[in-house]
Amino acid sequence: MEKILIIIPAYNEAENIERVVDNLITKYPEYDYVVINDGSSDDTRKICACRGYNFLDLPVNVGLSGAIKAGMRYANYYGYDYVVQIDGDGQHDPKYIAAMAGLMEEVDCDIVIGSRFKTEKKPGGLRMLGSRIISGAIHMTTGRKIQDVTSGMRLFNKRMIKRFGYDIHYSPEPDTLAYLLNCGFHIEEIQVQMHDRTAGTSIYKNPLASARYMLQMMFSIFLFQWVRKKNET
């Protein structure tokens, strides 16, 4: 059986992190985990320390890319075969990890995305408009379809652990997924169900922040990705 590490980037998740980690410890003891406290200004670090959780404490907020890099380096150092990224807000259900790992082994891919829309239709409305546009941009520039481009639940193989830990200086956002596809890496999706965030606020609930994110992704997918150095991968 492959050695799997769950990494949980967490920035100001004091209201959620205890529930997320306790669920892992109680229901999924077969998986190792590490919380990456990304310079939180709330009690995230205090909760992790008091509860005796396994965590990395970044002294300042470095953003998702820096938190992912720290988690990947930890995984590489301790010899993990696979890394699963889940959010610290409780939206991602660890029960799908076994199926994600099974798909990775079956088709020998580099990344498996836990997708809300692999077999289920995307809902309508403005909230999903940005996701549809970004998915279309990736299809136009790579010839490949990724249905759930903003899913934060992802499984990475050993090759990706090393790449994101040491070579790729970006988080696995939609633009980087497009870049990896254009570099010949293999990305698959598997259908999952996600829970609603019970505390705190997602940036995707803010129309202005969502629009800014979409524009950044579109700029990167259509322009910036073509000048990124191939030696990143």
SS3 134: helix
Query: Do the beta carbons of residue 225 and residue 175 sit within 8 Å?
Result: yes
Amino acid at 48: C
Task: Report how far residue 221's alpha carbon sits from residue 207's, in angstroms, rounded to the nearest whole number.
Answer: 21
For 108, the enclosing helix (H) or strand (E) is: none
Q: What is the CATH number of the domain that holds 127?
A: 3.90.550.10
- The residue segments making up the domain with residue 178 are 4-232
Q: Number of folded domains in the chain? A: 1
pTM: 0.90
Task: Report how far residue 6's alpha carbon sits from residue 148's, in angstroms, rounded to the nearest whole number.
Answer: 20
**Residue-by-residue pLDDT tens, the chain, 233 positions:** 789 999 999 999 999 999 999 999 999 999 999 999 999 999 999 999 999 999 999 999 999 999 999 999 999 999 999 999 999 999 999 999 999 999 999 999 999 999 999 988 777 666 678 889 999 999 999 999 999 999 999 999 999 999 999 998 888 899 999 999 999 999 999 999 998 766 655 555 677 888 888 899 999 999 877 666 554 54
Biggest CA pair distance of the chain: 49
Model pLDDT, residue 202 = 57
Model pLDDT, residue 233 = 47
Sorted by sequence, the CB contacts under 8 Å of residue 41 that are 6+ apart come out as 12, 61
Of 6, 174, 12, the C-alpha closest to 78 is: 6
Query: Do the beta carbons of residue 112 and residue 157 sit within 8 Å?
Result: no
Task: Report how far residue 23's alpha carbon sits from residue 3's, in angstroms, rounded to the nearest whole number.
Answer: 20
